[in-house]
Amino acid sequence: MNTQQEQTITLHRPRPIAVASICTTAKAEHWSVDAIEALFQLPFPELLFRAQTVHREHFNPTHVEFATLLSIKTGGCPEDCGYCPQAAQYNTGVEASKMMALDQVLFAAKRAQEAGATRFCMGAAWRTPKDRDIEKVAELVSAVKGLGLETCATLGMLNEGHAEQLRDAGLDYYNHNLDTAPDFYGDVITTRDYQDRLDTLARVRHAGVKVCSGGIVGMGESHRQRAGLIAELANLSPYPESVPINNLVRVEGTPMANAEPLDPFEFVRTIAVARITLPKARVRLSAGRQEMGDAIQALCFLAGANSIFYGDKLLTTGNPDTQADLDLLDRLGMQRGAPEMLT
């Protein structure tokens, strides 16, 4: 290569960006909403470059975790979450059901495992499970754990001692999303307080169970409120090991059925900002993938997402076909598998 060619390549090489300061800040205990909002406002290529740099420091960027979510008890929830088709007070066509039997859950878990899932999450539409409910779920957790799968549960708010019972049964993760920023929370839910969610996460953490907590975007929140959600997650001490980012699925009959769709690039920005501020978490593409299309999902992987919910249904809403997910990863030269920490 001659000197002129070398100079040309140097001139067209992307300008170095001071990522070290971003990485250092991400490991600190506090992120201000202002700092996170500034990340959202970066030019798109620069934001993705920073997110990808942080991602590569901690994970193999070609690996994507496959997790499966099963509704073990559907509908009839007394909460009024404005996005949720399982709320009893909304007419969404979702009928309340009893908890699934052990053999049904094990059958679903084995199918998920055979399809490549490494984590199996069980969800139940409760405000707060009763002691007898926890005993039944603990039995399910133990059986699923016996298959060699990572176990996760999302059951609503937990009372004292519940997290310990689930831990002793073999629960690896407990999911309890913050949903949105504190100052927008009252516009989404009135039947519980933000502190109620934080208290459940504290009980889970105190019991030694890993935390899975994220939120939903596209519910009508402001740009700054999206930054506020990420700040709440990033400033948990320690922050969640798993962070599902949901794009609102607008369900007829819920108060948010007519919410304005979120700009897809804003969703990608949310993934990138989550990766920068929660550098060692598994950032999961959750609800809303069916509406994204392959190109946006590919951008999300580039922005640092390394986990997806796998299967054709998420509790009560649709999800991309399982073969479609495998085909997409194949087209991208990526592979399924639990992302291992590099640092």
pLDDT digits (tens, 9 = 90+) for 40-81: 999 999 999 999 999 999 999 999 988 888 989 887 787 878
Contact 76, 125 (CB under 8 A): yes
Per-residue pLDDT, averaged over 117-121, amounts to 88
Judged by DSSP in three states, 261 sits in coil
- The single residue listed with the structure tokens 């140097």 is 10
The answer to whether residue 300 is catalytic is no
Q: What is the pLDDT of residue 313?
A: 44
Q: What is the pLDDT of residue 34?
A: 96
Q: How far apart are CA 223 and CA 301, in angstroms?
A: 22
> Which of 119, 282, 284, 289 is labelled catalytic?
284
> Which of 50, 119, 121, 275 is labelled catalytic?
121
- Cα 112 from chain centroid (whole Å): 18
pTM, 2 dp: 0.85
Contact 151, 173 (CB under 8 A): yes
The answer to whether residue 23 is catalytic is no
From 234, 235, 301, select the one nearest 65 (Cα to Cα).
Answer: 301
> Which of 81, 203, 282, 300 is labelled catalytic?
81
Judged by DSSP in three states, 55 sits in helix
Per-residue pLDDT, averaged over 102-115, amounts to 89
pLDDT digits (tens, 9 = 90+) for 225-263: 999 999 999 999 999 999 999 999 888 888 888 888 999
The answer to whether residue 152 is catalytic is yes
The answer to whether residue 132 is catalytic is no
The answer to whether residue 212 is catalytic is yes
The answer to whether residue 121 is catalytic is yes
**Burial of residue 132, with CB atoms counted within 10 A of its CB: 0-12 exposed, 13-18 middle, 19 or more buried:** exposed
Per-residue pLDDT, averaged over 133-143, amounts to 95
The answer to whether residue 84 is catalytic is yes
> Which of 119, 152, 167, 197 is labelled catalytic?
152
Give the helix/strand (H/E) hosting 123: strand 119-124
Q: Where do the domains of the chain lie, and which CATH numbers do they carry?
A: 3-336 (3.20.20.70)
Decide which of 229 and 8 is more confident.
229
